[in-house]
Amino acid sequence: MWTSLKNKAKDLGFISLGISRPIRPLYFDSFQRWISEHKHADMRWLEKSIEKREDPSKLLKGCSAVISLAFPYSSEKPQTPDGFCAARYSSPQQEDYHRRLKKLCYELTEIITEAYAGSRFKVCVDSSPIMEKTLAISAGIGFMGKNTLLIIPGYGSYFFLAEILTTAPMEVQAQKPVGNLCGDCTRCIDACPTGALRGPFILDASRCLSYLSIEHKGKIRTDVARKMGRCFFGCDRCQEACPFNNGKTGADVSLPSTEEILGMDNKAFQRRFGNTALARAGLEKIKSNLEAVKHCS
């Protein structure tokens, strides 16, 4: 069954998968410390879900295994014809990855059900209280880089993570977690324009451009906008600097012009971006970010 699952996952486009037990995740203490030091900015929902993050089986009664999966996104950065850009993962030409990957994961559950009839599942794609990176490490998928992102040796970090929690009594062979392979490198920390990477493995979300340009509700301050360069949604600089991404780069002019975006009303925004990852920030936030970076560029 594991071989069929792996083959099907590969056919669906996943680049890696692994399995672990739903036990207290690796580095959970570091996560708790990060919260207690208020490095999570105003993402209060993280405080409310600590118990579930500590015990993945709280997300699915009777959970016996967690399958972690990695799905690639393009290394080309979405760009407007006049050179303003958004984070790679937010491709405006694709359906929002939350929905896209959930559908693919549910296709995989069919294989598990064939082997273990009556199994139950919970599929998580970046919106459930689960420590997806450390579970992926336990499943042998990759290691945590000093930029706090999961890195797959030989591939890099341009991918999404998803998890299938299941009650199926699947065999879980203990994996030796992939150890950190950063060595003496500090390129991500050096490249971070705001000092959000306070040191190896320490992210201060309140300074992170990715948080400030997507999750944060307020307006972008001028001093922050200056550090965003021409990127108005997210920030990939600590990934671009990483040698594991092999200098993969490039732009994809898939965004409308800045004039068109700034002239959109909600109806036009929904029509153009409603199904994409850009919708997460909402029209007002996107317009406000774009105005801020245009003003400073």
Among 104, 139, 165, 238, binds ligand SF4 (CB under 6 A): 238
Instruction: Indicate whether 214 belongs to the interface with ligand SF4 (CB under 6 A).
Output: no
Residues with Cβ within 8 Å of 18's Cβ and at least 6 positions away in sequence, in order, are: 67, 68, 136, 138, 139, 140, 141, 175
Residue with nearest beta carbon to ligand SF4: 145
Instruction: Indicate whether 243 belongs to the interface with ligand SF4 (CB under 6 A).
Output: yes
Backbone torsion region of residue 132, taken as left when φ is above 0, otherwise alpha when ψ lies between -120 and 50, otherwise beta: alpha
Instruction: Indicate whether 133 belongs to the interface with ligand SF4 (CB under 6 A).
Output: no
Distance between CA atoms of 16 and 156, rounded to whole angstroms?
Answer: 12
Known catalytic residue at 55: no
Instruction: Indicate whether 128 belongs to the interface with ligand SF4 (CB under 6 A).
Output: no
SS3 sequence of 195-216: CCEEECCEECHHHCHHHHHHCC
Among 60, 170, 178, 196, binds ligand SF4 (CB under 6 A): 196
Among 53, 77, 146, 287, binds ligand SF4 (CB under 6 A): 146
Instruction: Indicate whether 197 belongs to the interface with ligand SF4 (CB under 6 A).
Output: yes
Instruction: Indicate whether 164 belongs to the interface with ligand SF4 (CB under 6 A).
Output: no
Question: Min. distance of Cβ 287 from ligand SF4 in angstroms?
Answer: 21
Instruction: Indicate whether 105 belongs to the interface with ligand SF4 (CB under 6 A).
Output: no
Whether the Cβ atoms of residue 138 and residue 109 lie closer than 8 Å to each other: no
Instruction: Indicate whether 202 belongs to the interface with ligand SF4 (CB under 6 A).
Output: no
Residue 165: CB atoms within 10 A of its CB come to 23
Distance between CA atoms of 33 and 40, rounded to whole angstroms?
Answer: 11
Distance between CA atoms of 60 and 248, rounded to whole angstroms?
Answer: 38
Question: Min. distance of Cβ 193 from ligand SF4 in angstroms?
Answer: 6
Considering the candidates 11, 29, 42, 126, report the single residue annotated as catalytic: 126
Q: Identify the bridge partners of residue 69 per DSSP, sorted by sequence position.
A: 17, 162
Instruction: Indicate whether 199 belongs to the interface with ligand SF4 (CB under 6 A).
Output: no
Question: To 10 degrees, the CA torsion angle through 99, 101, 106, 111?
Answer: 170
Question: To 10 degrees, the CA torsion angle through 89, 93, 96, 100?
Answer: -100
Question: Min. distance of Cβ 35 from ligand SF4 in angstroms?
Answer: 18
Among 209, 220, 225, 293, binds ligand SF4 (CB under 6 A): 209
Instruction: Indicate whether 156 belongs to the interface with ligand SF4 (CB under 6 A).
Output: no
Burial of 271 (0-12, 13-18, 19+ CB in 10 A): exposed
Residues that bind ligand SF4 (CB under 6 A): 145-147, 182, 185-188, 192, 194, 196-197, 203, 208-210, 235, 237-238, 241-244
Q: Which residues are catalytic?
A: 126
